[in-house]
């Protein structure tokens, strides 16, 4: 799910002129209910205005902002890591072994029906087999993502589901020295259905594999246009953490789950990176490891700008290790979704461990935090906008020869720009350093007449490169600094 490592040095992201996010947003810690593990696996706003949280100790608790009190709705769940409210008022929760519907049939405020919606996937007892989601589309279909197992540990004698013995015999697995044979599994492996996959589940509970190729897909979200987004974590076959736009039948890079494709017979460890590269769908965005994110979490749609101060049509994304949220500005180029990542709300007050998100009716953002004994935090945080609009980049458009950046207020003058580009190796190794890192010459950059658009001309645009655009001294007419002055655009396709 998340990786254990030292926290990286945090790069300053937009406070060079002394601005503070606290001038624009108010942070309020919510006291958790007594007797629970304070780690929040999921959080969602209910139609009655209450906020539902599932906690790692297995409870679903409802928080009333009006009375500032908690009430127990359900208990006895196994590591619930996501929650949403369905159209009938029931709550749908992911837990370790299943997707579960919780109903309050007698309307006394406590769930009395626990219904299994889907358990059509395998479990070996490996500690890394997390279950994430649910996300839901406009037709009522649910989407869940299944973590791979880690060869840092083996499996239990009793498992659920069939064992796929491609390159890894289960009998020798159980009877032998795991440290000696674990290399046959790969660093992260899928030997029971459908580890490393995204599953689609109909409202009646029928499941199917929707997409393959994931490692630790802790963030899954269906946006307002019914587009499915998934974040994954850096590791084997992940040079750095990605954000994927996921479409049905796609393969997203980690080969372990390919064993569950119909008719598949090959050992995924014996397929070359070159062959896999031809199969995989590239990421819509890349999070430079240790700079912008380490273990990205849930994406969520931005809302009406009059409520939270951000443009609608973006995604907000969390991370376990960095003291910021991240804006994603999507753009479609040549039929491919790609776009820009911009740091947001970098603050010690925000802190780390930002795991799950929901907006309430007034526009406040509720953040559930977790750490899972790795990097992170715990508890519930409420972030409210102070109705003062920060100076922001609101759009990044790829041109044939550069970029055009839009701002919500005029720039005082054209800023100093530093642009670089790089990529990452696609290989079985754990992570990757930056590859082909080079500075990019800025031929010219000019402001529009009204000062709200900056056009940047470059010698060329190279596909499959992450462009980092760093502003120095960017301010509006009143001298207020740009909030988020490092923009990272992943060019999957260039304009012709």
Long-range contacts of 225-230 (CB under 8 A, 24+ apart): 226/137, 226/138, 227/337, 228/135, 228/137, 228/143, 228/198, 229/284, 229/299, 229/315, 230/145, 230/198
Query: What would the CATH number be for the domain defined by 393-491?
Result: 2.60.40.1220
With residue 277 as reference, give the H or E element that holds it.
helix 273-279
Tens-digit pLDDT profile for residues 35-57 = 999 999 999 999 999 999 999 99
Report pLDDT for 184.
84
Instruction: Determine the 3-state secondary structure of 475 from DSSP.
Output: strand
In whole angstroms, what is the distance from residue 86 CA to residue 139 CA?
12
Report pLDDT for 374.
84
Report pLDDT for 173.
65
Nearby residues of 278 by Cβ (< 8 Å), 6 or more positions away: none
According to DSSP, the residues that pair with 243 across neighbouring strands are 231, 285
Q: Which residues of the chain have pLDDT under 50?
A: 1-19
Burial level of 166, CB count in 10 A (0-12/13-18/19+)?
middle
In whole angstroms, what is the distance from residue 89 CA to residue 286 CA?
37
Tens-digit pLDDT profile for residues 410-464 = 999 999 999 999 999 999 999 999 999 999 999 999 999 999 999 999 999 999 9
Q: How many CB atoms lie within 10 A of CB 151?
A: 21
- State pTM to two decimals: 0.95
Is the CB of residue 351 less than 8 Å from the CB of residue 379?
Answer: no
According to DSSP, the residues that pair with 338 across neighbouring strands are 331
Report pLDDT for 175.
62
Beta strands (DSSP E) in 265-401 are 285-287, 296-301, 315-319, 325-333, 336-344, 354-359, 365-369, 379-385, 393-399
Report pLDDT for 181.
80
Q: How many CB atoms lie within 10 A of CB 177?
A: 9
Query: What would the CATH number be for the domain defined by 21-385?
Result: 2.120.10.30
- Give CATH 2.60.40.1220 domain extents, the chain: 393-491
Report pLDDT for 96.
97
């Amino acid at each position: 799910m998340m990786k254990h490592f030292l926290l990286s040095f945090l790069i300053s992201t937009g406070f060079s002129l002394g601005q503070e996010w606290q001038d624009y947003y108010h942070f309020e810690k919510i006291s958790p209910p007594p007797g629970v593990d304070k780690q929040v696996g999921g959080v969602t706003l209910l139609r009655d205005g209450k906020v539902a949280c599932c906690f790692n100790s297995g409870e679903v608790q409802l928080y009333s902002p009006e009375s500032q009190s908690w009430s127990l709705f359900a208990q006895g769940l196994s590591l619930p890591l996501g929650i949403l409210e369905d159209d009938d008022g029931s709550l749908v929760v992911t837990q370790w072994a299943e997707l579960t519907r919780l109903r309050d049939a007698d309307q006394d405020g406590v769930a009395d029906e626990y219904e299994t919606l889907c358990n059509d996937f395998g479990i070996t007892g490996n500690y890394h087999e997390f279950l994430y989601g649910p996300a839901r589309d406009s037709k009522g279909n649910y989407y869940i993502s299944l973590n791979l197992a880690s060869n840092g540990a083996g499996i239990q004698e009793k498992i659920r589901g069939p064992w796929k013995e491609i390159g890894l015999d289960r009998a020798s697995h159980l009877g032998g020295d795991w440290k000696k044979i674990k290399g046959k599994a790969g660093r992260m492996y899928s030997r029971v259905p459908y580890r490393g996959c995204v599953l689609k589940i109909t409202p009646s509970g029928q499941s199917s594999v929707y997409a393959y190729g994931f490692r630790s897909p802790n963030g899954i979200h269906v946006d307002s246009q019914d587009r499915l987004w998934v974040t994954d974590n850096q590791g084997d076959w992940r040079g750095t953490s990605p954000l994927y736009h996921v479409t049905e039948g796609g393969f997203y890079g980690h080969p372990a789950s390919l064993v569950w494709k119909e008719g598949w017979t090959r050992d995924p460890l014996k397929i070359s990176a070159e062959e896999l590269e031809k199969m995989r769908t590239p990421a819509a965005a890349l999070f430079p490891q240790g700079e912008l994110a380490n273990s990205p979490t849930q994406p969520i749609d931005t809302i009406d700008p009059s409520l939270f101060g951000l443009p609608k049509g973006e995604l907000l994304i969390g991370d376990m290790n960095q003291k910021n949220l991240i804006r994603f500005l999507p753009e479609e180029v040549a039929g491919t979704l790609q776009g820009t990542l911009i740091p947001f709300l970098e603050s010690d007050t925000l802190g780390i461990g930002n795991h799950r998100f929901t907006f309430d009716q007034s526009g406040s953002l509720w953040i559930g935090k977790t750490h899972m004994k790795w990097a992170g935090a715990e508890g519930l945080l409420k972030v409210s906008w102070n109705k003062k609009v920060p100076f922001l980049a609101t759009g990044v458009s790829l041109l044939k020869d550069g970029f055009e950046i839009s701002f919500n207020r005029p720039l005082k003058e054209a800023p100093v720009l530093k642009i670089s580009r790089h990529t990452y190796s696609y290989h079985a190794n754990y992570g990757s350093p930056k590859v082909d890192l080079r500075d990019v010459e800025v031929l010219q950059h000019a402001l529009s007449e009204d000062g709200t658009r900056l056009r940047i001309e470059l010698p060329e645009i190279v596909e499959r490169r992450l462009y980092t655009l760093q502003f120095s001294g960017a301010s509006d007419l009143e001298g207020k600094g740009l909030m988020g002055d490092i923009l990272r655009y992943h060019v999957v396709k260039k304009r012709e």
